Amino acid sequence: MSDERAASTPPSLWLTLAMPVSLVITVFALGFGLLVALGLDEGGASTSTTTETQPPATAAGAAVFASTGCGGCHTLSAAGSTGSFGPNLDETTLSQGEIASVVSNGRPGTAMQAYSGSLSPEQIDAVAAYVSAPAAPSG
């Protein structure tokens, strides 16, 4: 008889309120986390969470340079890399277009591989712009 009574008893007030309250808290937490992750302030404008002063194109090139491991072979002071295997990119005389061609097609007979199969044309252009940009004066 107690089983029949338990099945017909409505849930307590606590259980009735717990589900919607926990749902509201979860949605709020996820929404707040998303705002923090996107770096949005209260007005909806994006705010920078870094003190980086590089323009977006240069920052994109720096990211490609780092993620592809270019610094393992090449020295580039802007990237803080001191690779000693490949040419010192601080001393390159190649134009941005020539650098993009080397990154895209590689250099036959050297360790420089072609990246056209693993990087998009936009990524290749970004890293070429980054490498060909004049070095910032050290202060």
CATH code (residue 106): 1.10.760.10
Same domain, 73 and 103: yes
Q: What band does 18 get if pLDDT is binned at 50, 70 and 90?
A: confident
> From CA 31, how far away is CA 82, in angstroms rounded?
42
Q: Is residue 15 part of a domain?
A: yes
CA nearest neighbour of 137 among 93, 86, 78, 59: 78
Residues of the domain holding 8: 2-38
- The answer, yes or no, to whether residue 43 has pLDDT greater than 50, is yes
Helix (H, G, I), strand (E, B) or coil at 81: strand
Q: Is residue 46 part of a domain?
A: no
Q: Is residue 127 part of a domain?
A: yes
pLDDT digits (tens, 9 = 90+) for 22-40: 887 888 777 777 766 666 5
pLDDT digits (tens, 9 = 90+) for 87-137: 999 999 999 999 999 999 999 999 999 999 999 999 999 999 999 987 655
**pLDDT the model gives residue 119:** 93
